[in-house]
Structures are given as C-alpha cells and as structure tokens.
Amino acid sequence: METIDLRSDTVTQPTAAMRAAMLDARVGDDVYGEDPTVNALQERLADDLGFDAGLFVPTGTQSNLLALLAHCERGDEYIVGMEAHTYKYEGGGAAVLGSIQPQPIVHAEDGTLPLERIRAAIKPVDPHFARTRLLALENTWQGRPLPLDYLRDAHDLARSQGLGIHLDGARLFNAAVACNVPAREIARHFDTVSICLSKGLGTPVGSVLLGPHALIDKARRWRKVCGGGWRQAGILAAAALHALDHHVARLQDDHDRAARLAEGLRSIPGIDLLGQHTNMVFIHVPGDRLRALDAHLRDAGIRISIGYLPTLRLVTHLDIDDDGIARTIAAFAAFFAAG
C-alpha cells in the first residue's frame, strides 16, 4: 500500500525529471563562487523577484537566521509574530547566535501583525531599551496568504520608523498562486526575502535569501560562520531550477486538493473543520482519541502529524493525488463511524 504522507510539504520526493536535472548539473566550488548552477539559481531568483543578489543556503532556518544577522547587530531587536517560525520554531537562533532580541506580538486571525501593535512595540531611542531594527513577517502563515494591501501598509510603516523589513517566504509561491499575482508583487515590499525550495516546490534541500548586495554580502560571511558554506552544491541548485520551471503553477493543484479534503472531512461527525488555507487543512478532534486515530490512520497507510494537541494540520503537496485525498477522507470516516 502506497503511503499517503500529509505531515508536511517537506516530505516530497524528487520527481524523475528533477533527478535527471540533478544528474546533468554543471558544478563547481560554491565557497569560491564557482558553481555555475548555484550562480544561475541565485541570479534567476534575484532577477525574477526584483533583488540585487541571492544566496543559496541549506535550510530555511539558516536563511532566516542569516537575514536577521545581516540586518541586526548585538543588542538590536526584531519585531515578529508570536507564532512565527522565525521566533517559535527556529531554536532561538537570533538570540543564541546573534544576541538579537525578539519582540513577539500577537497575530491577528488572518496572520497579519496589526499595525498598531507593531507601532506600539517600537522602542524609543533610549539606553534602557534594545534598538528596534527590523520587522519580520511570514507568508504564508498557517497557510494564510497575507493580504497585498497589508504588505504595502506594513512596508510603509517600517520605512517611516527607519526599520528594515524581512519576509520569511517559506511558502511565498503558494501565497502568490493563491493571490493570483507574480511572486515579485509580494516580494517588492521587503528588503530581504527567504524562499524555501524544499516545501511546495518539492526540491530535496535548500533555500535562497534575496536582498541588496550589502546585506547579501554580510549574509554570505555569516553563512560561513554558521557552517553553511558548501562546495559542489549545483546538484541541488539544479533541482531548484527545475522546480521553478515546472512546480510553481501546479501549486494550485495542491490548494484544490486541500479544499476537497476539507470539504470531505467537514461532514464527518467527530471532526470540527477549523479552516483550509492554500495547501493546509486544520481540524479539531477529541483529544482522548488522538492515539487511536494515529494508529488507525497508520494501518490505512496514512501519516499525519499527531502530538498532544487536538488541533491537527494536514498538508497537501505534489506527492498527494486525487486517490490519496479520497483514501484519507474514507479512513477518517471509518474511524469516527466505528465510535
């Protein structure tokens, strides 16, 4: 039985065509700046999204960390969402490695950071306070694409207060497809953007940090300090270039399948559908049934992330087809029908 893995869009396998592109990649030593395929990827994304330069790095966590280290110095502060990945799920790297203080604020329901909360969090110039230097946003946030007019207003607020502005764009292309705009239309509101290639785009490894030359030069040095310098990485960059050519428009398929999954789960007694946004479905199930549900789904060849909270996230991606959606709905229905 083929496994249906809905834990995350990070679990995708490289397609046969992607593997062929990797096999044919021209490579060199990227620490010396001599890998032609890495250079092509960095230049491609910088040109497409309207930036001076790009930096290919192993992970989205490192890409975000390098951005924070490039924007901020010791004793500086960045404003960030309380549930944002850069604050909650990246090991406190900015504080641990950069002595950069996070100032978390509460998200609104749509994933935005309310402008009045941002404004109130900015510290005055006073030796009692960390120096507020940066606003960090995330798009998508729990699958929600941030509204385009909000991005404009957040950019204008940051500029008026002398702040830099960074985007954790781990699923930037999901947001662009959902908003029916080019990714450049979202990225133009930011000084730096981190793009994860190993989620919806389906590559095995890698993220790219985009920004102006000065910040990318600083990030490149910090990449080396953090152990992120790599050699013949063009094999991985080739996968990314293939994904940019072939896996962006098809993200709509993931969104459509997530919508069908949500609709199918909605009618099952025992499941509360909390929402569906882009390629993510959120449901609530009784907490005392989590372990039994996990076992039942595994027996049916379905994997989801089940912890100790009754809120569950199901994520569609390029390895989930229509049959997988139907099997998942049927497995949930069978479990709850059995009482």
Place of tokens 């709850």: 336
Exposure on the CB side of residue 13, measured as CA atoms within 13 A: 7
Please provide the distance, in angstroms rounded to a whole number, between the alpha carbons at the two ends of the chain.
25
pLDDT 10s digits, 135-150: 999 999 999 999 999 9
Distances (CA, A) of 94 to 69, 101, 217, 280: 7, 7, 18, 28
Q: What is the pLDDT of residue 63?
A: 98
Confidence bin at 338 (pLDDT 50/70/90)? confident
Instruction: Give me the phi and psi of 292, to 5 degrees please.
Output: -65, -40
**Tell me: the pLDDT tens digits for 171-214?**
999 999 999 999 999 999 999 999 999 999 999 999 999 999 99
Which residues are 273's β-sheet partners?
283
**pLDDT tens-place string over residues 276-318:** 999 999 999 999 999 999 999 999 999 999 987 899 999 999 9
Q: How far apart are CA 16 and CA 198, in angstroms?
A: 16
Once rounded to an integer, what is the mean pLDDT over residues 210-227?
A: 97
Q: Which residue has the tokens 């941030």?
A: 146
Neighbours of 95 (CB within 10 A): 13
**What secondary structure letter does DSSP report for 231?**
S
DSSP assignment of 157-211: HHHHTT-EEEEEETTHHHHHHHHTS-HHHHHTT-SEEEEESSSTT--SS-EEEEE
Q: How far apart are CA 131 and CA 100, in angstroms?
A: 9
pLDDT at 309: 82
How confident is the model at residue 1, as a pLDDT? 78
Q: In 3-state terms, what secondary structure has residue 148?
A: helix
Amino acid (one-letter) located at 115: L
CB 85 within 8 A of CB 168: yes
Cβ neighbors of 117 (< 8 A, separation 6 or more) are 105, 106
What is the average pLDDT across 28-52? 98
Tokens coding 19: 């593997």
Question: CA 172, CA 197: separation in Å to the nearest integer?
Answer: 10
Q: What one-character DSSP code corresponds to residue 108?
A: P
SS3 328: helix
Structure tokens at 22: 């990797």
Three-state secondary-structure class, residue 55: strand
